[in-house]
Homo-oligomer: A and B are copies of this chain.
């Protein structure tokens, strides 16, 4: 490992001078010539600051803690983690991810993260909900992802549920569907997503000049009765378009369609939120999907968190290439409390 002392020795200056230069605190304090030399040898030797040693003095590790459960059970956690990691990496931070499933106690994990000196926390849910932030986080900078704080005091990043419903339904309207059904979800915990998407569905119908008809809406909870109720919807209403709350509900529709001998993309149109990639990629290219912005939520939550920790670190951040589809948000986006993000990608086929 190459240290400041090393490059001080080689340059013939003191460690403090090197420190000043390496931290860009040399403006008007260090001779530009000296500074240049220091920088040069540092670069030549491939010097990198030891963040752990630094943290001993500064009380700042540039480590972010990412907490969530369900990492092992949903395919969506990965996107959020990757988004958060991408932002962290761009800002010179590191991400430590812990999941609290697997029998690991949440409070213990938080303690462990604190021991490792994280500068702040990302607390992520895997489905937009109102949540209680663990009290152990309250004394640290914390940002929620895919959830909002019940008390409204913690900044959070959530998807634009209304737009998801609106865009999906508009797509079906434009596709020429006459009888557009909504296969929703009234399970507890997802009220935010359900109501937002339903409202978007209704608005898109209205803007498309179509009436809102309650009998075209079925809210599915129990897997057991799910196929039945969708089957029922098919028989009763003969919809020609379906907006599905999530992957499971898309499956119900597909199953029912197959049993009725109907082909998606020909006889009926389906737009599903977030269904598993394998469907669209390998089997049902005629399915249209609205992807939840998991990557983007992770990304902007991390940006927000870093801005809380060190406001000026966030200047000159360039948004990630992978999120070309998100609307032009400036570096000072994530507003406090509730930032709306939307991936405008209703894929056309």
Contacts and interface: CB of A to CB of B under 8 A. Distances in A.
Interface in A204-238: 223, 226-227
Interface stretch (A81-89, A158-166, A191-199): A81-89
Contact of A52 (B55, B78, B81): B55
A78 B82 contact: no
A325 interface: no
Interface string A44-57: 00001111110110
A86 B104 contact: yes
Contacts of A330: none
A102 interface: yes
A316 interface: no
Contact of A51 (B95, B115, B282, B295): B115
Contacts of A89: 104, 108-109, 112
A116 B258 contact: no
A61 interface: yes
A39 interface: no
Given A52-B117, A116-B94, A259-B258, A85 B104 contact: yes
A11 B116 CA distance: 26
Contacts of A259: 258
Interface stretch (A131-139, A167-175, A247-255): A247-255
A279 B51 CA distance: 45
A251 B276 CA distance: 12
A151 interface: no
B75 A74 contact: yes
Nearest to A89: B104
Given A61-B52, A117-B52, A258-B259, A251 B282 contact: yes
Interface string A96-125: 111101111000110110011100000000
B102 A86 contact: yes
Nearest to A46: B111
Contact of A283 (B97, B255, B283): B255
Interface of A: 48-53, 55-56, 61, 63, 70-75, 77-79, 81-83, 85-86, 89, 94-99, 101-104, 108-109, 111-112, 115-117, 223, 226-227, 247-248, 251-252, 255, 258-259, 276-279, 281-283, 294-295, 320-322
21 contacts: A48-B115, A49-B115, A52-B55, A52-B56, A52-B116, A56-B56, A70-B78, A72-B294, A74-B75, A77-B78, A81-B97, A81-B99, A83-B102, A85-B97, A85-B98, A248-B283, A251-B278, A252-B283, A258-B259, A276-B276, A276-B278
Given A56-B56, A72-B79, 19 more contacts: A52-B61, A52-B116, A72-B295, A75-B75, A75-B276, A81-B97, A81-B99, A82-B102, A83-B102, A85-B97, A86-B103, A89-B109, A94-B112, A96-B96, A102-B295, A103-B320, A252-B282, A252-B283, A255-B258
